[in-house]
Amino acid sequence: MGYADRTLVCRDCGANFVFTAGEQEFFAMKGLMNDPARCPSCRARRRQERSGPRPMTVVTCANCGGQAEVPFVPRGDRPVYCSRCYDQLRNARQ
């Protein structure tokens, strides 16, 4: 069955968004019968509201030694960086 991109209207914000052919195929593979009613940003916001605020953990940056808050509990076997050091390391790898 061929799919074509379709423009839908978000029920929350009223914005138009594209329901791509790939997304339609994914929905069909999962057995989902209804089109999405919300745009991607409203879906993400609603998901965040349902799950509640993410718990933050205070850690010491493995690079600069400064304090940082991260949205996960470190396992201890991998270094954890503050946002600034993480961005610098990520940009250096590219």
Write down the pLDDT at residue 60. Answer: 95
Chunked in runs of 10, what are the mean pLDDT values of the chain (94 residues)? Answer: 92 97 96 95 91 87 94 90 92 85
Report the distance separating Cα 15 and Cα 73, nearest Å. Answer: 37
Q: Residue 1: what pLDDT? A: 61
> What is the pLDDT, as a whole number, of residue 2?
86
pLDDT on residue 19: 97
Burial class from Cβ neighbours inside 10 Å (0-12, 13-18, 19+) for residue 70 reads middle
d(CA 13, CA 10) in angstroms, rounded, equals: 6
d(CA 57, CA 72) in angstroms, rounded, equals 6
Structure tokens at 30: 């999962």
For residue 24, how many other CB atoms are within 10 A of its CB?
19
